[in-house]
Structure 1
Amino acid sequence: MKITGNTILMAGGTSGIGLELALRFHRAGNKVIVAGRRRETLEAIAAEHDGIEYEVFDVTDNASIRRLFETVTAKHPELDTLVAMAGIMRPERILDPESLTTAEETVATNLLGPIRLVHAFTPFLARQPAATILTVTSGLAYVPLTATPTYSATKAAIHSYTETLREQLRDTPVQVIEIAPPLTRTRLMGDGTDNDRAMPLDEFASEVMELLETEPDANQILVERVKRQRWAEANGNYDEVFTLQAGR
């Protein structure tokens, strides 16, 4: 992936990692369209950052995704990059009956949302001279967190989906890249901005942009902090990392 001169749709880029990467791509010389559910937030982002555009959509609603596709491709026929960024992370206790609702909402947002986005945009992107789809997983795709079983499962599923998507598109102009963040200082799960164990957001975004620039043919973008999780099984310390994450 070249990191400048693209037209990028950030689907779910209104906060945290999504917003930070949207701003980095914008500063790198890309046209960026941020899409999300909250109009007020989107309007504020566009007002604060000249040149960034926005669209309102609901990642859990396939009809809304189809409208997003029609609108963005009509306004930007040069669109060549999709970042499927939307995600929620909520704790679950399996013995709590209410946790099923959390699990279902997590699957709808984190798994069905990106899959529907890919189905909507890929035929269009495959007609471009060069294009990129970026999915966002997590270190928890490789070693799950017991407090968030469905979140971890959806990220593992998106990793698997990304691998097969890349293979299916190998003879097209579409490059498929997985970004796998470690624990990062965002508000994804409450107020995690002061978590000393989490990677500072600006450091994570800087390392991601550096890796995209220096490894343009990479299938995965893995910052150093996530490699312990990513390679835990291969390195033989999966149980150690799992137990540590479980807090016992």
Structure 2
Amino acid sequence: MHITGNTLFIPGATSGIGLALARRFKDRGNRVVVGGRRTELLEELREEGFGVAHIDTADPTSITRAATQVIAEYPDLDTLVNMAGIMVAEDWHTAEGFLSVAEDTVNVNLLGPIRLIAAFTEQLQSRPAATIVNVSSGLASVPLARTATYSATKAAIHALSEAIRVQYADTSVQVIELVPPVVRTGLADTARNPRAIPLDDFADNVIALLESQPEAHEILVDQVKLQRYAERRGDYEKVFALINGQQ
């Protein structure tokens, strides 16, 4: 992925990691379209110079409608960043403690990106160079027990990214997996997590890695390598205990 001269659609970028990256992409000379559900935030971002699209990534109809709008308004769109996600704790002792949360999490975190890719795949393949960025998590490699389904969906996003990268190899579409560690955002209890890294530091590192590694399959800041390579190093159980507060 070249870091400038792109037209990006980033659903789920009205706050947190998505917004931090959207602003940095815009500052690098890219045209950035932000998608989200909250109209008031979208209007504020429009005033900052972003394109905006109302989208609920849990709703297939909303995804189709937003894709139609974005492609019509930005026919040179060449980058999709699958950023939207939810992270909610679950209690698996009773169905009431986890089932509805698990279903919502799968719908947003896994079916959402799949539906978005389906909505944009023809547009992306029509461009001479295009990119799909799928956002997974360090929890794809070492899960957090209290957010079991979130961790599972991010593991699925990792596997999905690996597989579709091969399928898109005969096209102009590059598939990049962005793998955040715990970052200080509004997601779950990250603001209180002592291991969480500052949002601005993470976003700056991501942009630097994208610039220095334009052919990368994965974007891994240093802090996420503890989880990403735990199996490879042979210390998975130790890292699992650390992530889950067992040591």
Quick one: percent identity of the two aligned structures? 54
Find the counterpart in structure 1 of residue 172 from structure 2: 173
Equivalents in 1 of 2:171, 2:150: separation in Å? 31
Report the alpha carbon displacement of residue 46 of structure 1 after superposing the two structures with TM: 2.2
**Is 1:137 the counterpart of 2:136 in the alignment?**
yes
Deviation at 1:133, TM superposition (A): 0.4
1:81 is matched with which residue: 70, 79, 82? 79
Residues 128-147 of structure 1, C-alpha deviations (whole Å, 9 max, x = no match): 11100000000000000001
Residue identity matched to 2:99: L
Which residue pairs with 1:20 in the alignment?
A: 20
The unaligned stretches of length 5 or more in structure 2 are none
Mapped partners of 1:240, 1:73: distance in 2: 47
Larger deviation: 108-117 or 93-102?
A: 93-102
Q: Distance in 2 between matches of 1:91 and 1:189?
A: 8
Q: d(CA) in 2 for partners of 1:45 and 1:72? A: 16
Aligned twin of 1:63: 61
1:44-123 equivalences under 5 Å are 44-47=44-47, 49=48, 51-96=49-94, 97-123=96-122
Give the letter for the 1:65 counterpart. I
Deviations 1:64-108 (A, max 9, x none): 111111100100100000001000000001014232111110000
> What RMSD, in angstroms, separates the aligned Cα atoms of the two structures?
0.9
The Cα of 1:194 is off from its aligned counterpart by 4.6
Query: TM-score, normalising length from structure 2?
Result: 0.97
Aligned partners of 2:22 and 2:132: how far apart in 1?
Answer: 14
**Alignment-derived partner of residue 236 in structure 2:** 238
Task: Specify the code of the residue in structure 2 equivalent to 1:13.
Answer: A
Counterpart in the other structure of 1:213: 211
C-alpha distance in 1 between matches for 2:11 and 2:158: 17
What 5-or-longer segments of structure 1 have no aligned partner? none
Distance in 1, Cα, partners of 2:132 & 2:205: 19
1:33 maps to which residue?
A: 33
Q: Kindly provide the amino acid, as one letter, of the partner of residue 66 in structure 2.
A: L
How many residue pairs get aligned? The number is 245
For 2:149 and 2:108, how far apart are their aligned partners in 1?
11
Q: 1:53, CA displacement in angstroms? A: 1.3
Deviation readout 1:110-160 (Å, 9 max, x if unpaired): 000000001110111001111000000000000000010000000000000
Segments of 4+ in structure 1 off by > 2 A?
192-196
Deviation at 1:40, TM superposition (A): 1.1
Distance 1:224 1:133 in 2: 22
* Letter aligned with residue 76 of structure 1: Y
Partners of 1:242 and 1:194 in 2: CA distance: 19
Whole-Å separation in 2 of the counterparts to 1:221 and 1:197: 19
TM-score, normalised relative to structure 1:
0.97
1:42 aligns with 2:42: yes
Amino acid at match of 2:9: L
Separation in structure 2 between the aligned mates of residue 129 and residue 161 of structure 1, nearest angstrom: 23
CA distance in 2, matches of 1:127, 1:15: 30
How far apart, in 2, do the equivalents of 1:239 and 1:197 lie? 18
The offset of 1:193, in angstroms, is 2.8
Task: Give the partner amino acid of 1:20.
Answer: A
| Secondary structure of the corresponding residue to residue 10 of structure 1 | strand
Output the CA distance in 2 between the equivalents of 1:156 and 1:238: 15
